[in-house]
Structure formats: structure tokens, C-alpha cells
Amino acid sequence: MRAKYVNPFTDFGFKKIFGEEASKPMLLDFLNALLPQQAHIKNLSFKNTEQLGQTIEDRKAIYDIYCENEQGEKFIVELQKAKQNYFKERTIYYSTFPIREQAEKGEWNYNLKAVFCIGVLDFTFDDYGSEQGKNDVVHEIKLKNQEGKTFYDKLTYIYLEMPNFTKKEADLQTRLDKWLYFIKHLEDFQHIPQIFKDEVVFVKAFEKAELSKFDPSEMDSYENSLKIYRDLKNVIDTASSEGELRGESRGELNGRIKERKDVAKALKDHGVAIEIIIKTTSLSKEEIDTL
């Protein structure tokens, strides 16, 4: 059956639903469902998603969505389709840009605005070290001391492990439940589920996601983004199947350099921009150029 709605795990689909000016009500509602009550957002403004370092030698960061609320607090929202080496380090690196851009010339008291880094993950971490938290959907991380007390409360990392979200429509209770259900199952819907029909923001989200409303240029961009997503999944699934025969774990497979190069080569063969390949695989430009 042909899909009626966009796949939100594609770069195009994710930005169509949450990253356009007309999508601001959806992003605002999603973030408020995810963030604690004291961080409630009334308004958002989108910022440049490409961040450059302080010198020309510094590596740049390209965010999926970068926005700021009415109080000047910063929000990075990232979609991650596959696990990468140094994934956590990458998100920490990304968080340094909205921190550094707050620096003021001349005398400055270093009073920083809060920064939130949010990752929507189409995979699980696989590296907990224990069973605790292994099946959690939402992971919130702050800087804490040896007693577990928050040392600095203006830097927050929130990861959503989408494979761990298994609730059915009848089980949805919170606003966040509804958004996670929407994101995880959107491509499979052929009509708007009853639970969303009286929710204006969700009805608008379905309208934004409906493929029949895309113009030819948007459809071409989406088809290309969907192909990249499927190729990436196929490469990882193939490597996983082969690795299981060798007795390797999925976490080990996702961490192997060879797999990342396979993914990079597949993306390169399809003409994907080098910046996107770097972002997807964490390989350097020099490594990708040799493929």
C-alpha cells in the first residue's frame, strides 16, 4: 500500500514537520511536551542551522533544527537514524556552539542562557553497562557531582530512543506519548487516528505530512531523502545479519569502522553532499574522499 504521509525519520520529513516556519506550532508543542514545566516555551524563533567555529580551521556543525525561545534559551533538535562512533561526543561538541555564541565583547559576567540538546534516535544505545534504563524511552542528562546532585542546570541533553516506545493507541496517556506515537507510526497511517482528530496541532501536523500536498520539487527532495534513509537502513541491516552469523553484537557492529565506510560509500554513490555524509558517519572528509 502506498504511503499517504511522509516518513519522519528522513531528513526531509523531519524538517517538514518540525523545521519550517509554518511548522513552528508543532515544534513548540512537541518541545513543551518533552521539557519540564519550568522550561515551558511560549514562542520560538529559528536560527541558522550551520554553525562555524571561531577560526577557519575549526570544524563546523550542521544542525537539523536550531531555535531560540523568548528568553534567549537555545534548542538543538537532531534526528539520528543510525548509531555512530563517538555519538555522545558529537552531541556534546554540538552543544558548545550555542554556548560560545553567547560570549559578549568587552567585559562580560559569563551569565549563560540554558542550552537543550534533543536527539530523536531511530536506534538504541546498546551500551548501558547494566539493565537499569535499558528499556527507557526518554533519557535526560545533566552535569552532576559525585553525590548525584545537579552541578549545572543550564545544559541538558535529552535522548529519545524510539525503538523502545511500544505503546498502542489505547495506551497513550500524556502529550509526549501522543507525539512519540505520531513520529513512530506516521508513515504507516492511512487516515488520522481518532485520538488525534480533535487536536488542532496534530491535525495540522498530518496536513503538513500529507504527500499529496507536496509540490513536484518537494516530492523530488523527499524521494531522494527517503532513498538515503532506506539505503542506510539496508547497509546496517545487512551488516547486522552478517555479524550475527559471526557472533558479534549489534552494538559492536554499529561501532566498526568498516560499517561506517560502507554507509559512507553508499551515500556517496547516490550523490549525497559530503557534509551530510560526514554528519551521518562521523568520518572525516579525507576518509570519505578515498572511498
User: 89 exposed, middle or buried (CB, 10 Å; 0-12, 13-18, 19+)?
Assistant: exposed
Single out the residue in 212, 234, 264 at which a domain terminates: 212
Name the grid cell of 23: 511548522
Same domain, 238 and 202: no
- pLDDT at position 228: 84
Same domain, 16 and 82: yes
Residue ranges of alpha helices (H) inside the chain are 11-18, 24-34, 87-100, 175-185, 200-209, 216-245, 250-255, 257-269, 274-281, 285-289
HSE toward the beta carbon, residue 216, CA cutoff 13 A: 0
- pLDDT at position 106: 84
pLDDT band at residue 252 under the 50/70/90 scheme: low
DSSP code, position 134: T
Relative to beta strand 74-80, strand 115-121 is: parallel
Q: Is residue 286 part of a domain?
A: yes
- pLDDT at position 57: 45
Single out the residue in 178, 212, 246 at which a domain terminates: 212
- pLDDT tens per residue across span 14-53: 999 999 999 999 999 999 999 988 788 999 999 877 765 5
* Contact criterion met (CB below 8 Å) for 17 and 5: no
Q: Is residue 3 part of a domain?
A: no
Task: Report the number of distinct structural domains present in the chain.
Answer: 2
Domain that holds residue 46: 11-212
Q: What is the pTM of this model?
A: 0.79
Q: Is residue 1 part of a domain?
A: no
